Amino acid sequence: MATLAPCAKRRTQIPNGNLQVVQREVTETKTREPETRDTETTVYLNDISGKLAPSMQVREQQRRAINGQIESVKTTLLPDANGGWQVHEVGERTVKEDGQNRTTDERISRRDFEGNVSLATRVVTRDSVSNGQATRTSETYSIDLPGSTRDGKLHLTEQSASVQTRSHGRTTTEQHISEPDPGDPQRGLSVSTKTKDVVVAGQSGTEKASTVSARDPDGNFNVVSVEIKKLDNVPAIQIQIAPPDNPK
Q: What confidence category does residue 32 fall into, taking pLDDT thresholds of 50, 70 and 90?
A: confident
Question: How many Å apart are CA 178 and CA 156, to the nearest integer?
Answer: 10
Q: Looking at this protein, which amino acid is placed at residue 21?
A: V
pLDDT at 151: 85
pLDDT at 237: 62
- Residue range 102-141, pLDDT digits in tens: 999 999 999 988 888 999 999 999 999 988 899 999 999 9
Question: Bridge-partner residues for 52, per DSSP?
Answer: 46
Which of 24-28, 212-216, 236-240 bottoms out in mean pLDDT, i.e. has the lowest?
Answer: 236-240
Q: Does 219 score more than 90 pLDDT?
A: no
Closest Cα to residue 199, out of 229, 176, 226?
229
Closest Cα to residue 212, out of 229, 190, 231, 192?
192
- Residue range 132-175, pLDDT digits in tens: 899 999 999 999 887 788 888 999 999 999 999 998 889 999 99
Q: Does 215 score more than 60 pLDDT?
A: yes
pLDDT (mean) for 210-217: 94
DSSP states of 94-154: EEEEETTEEEEEEEEEEE-TTS-EEEEEEEEEEEEEETTEEEEEEEEEES--TTS---SS-
- Residue range 180-200, pLDDT digits in tens: 887 777 778 999 999 999 999
Query: What does the domain layout of the chain look like in residue ranges?
Result: 1-96
pTM of the predicted model, to two decimals? Answer: 0.77
Question: How many Å apart are CA 57 and CA 22, to the nearest integer?
Answer: 17
Q: b/e for 77-115, b at 16 or more Cβ within 10 A? A: beeeeeeebebbbbbbbbbbeeeeeeebebbbbbbeeee
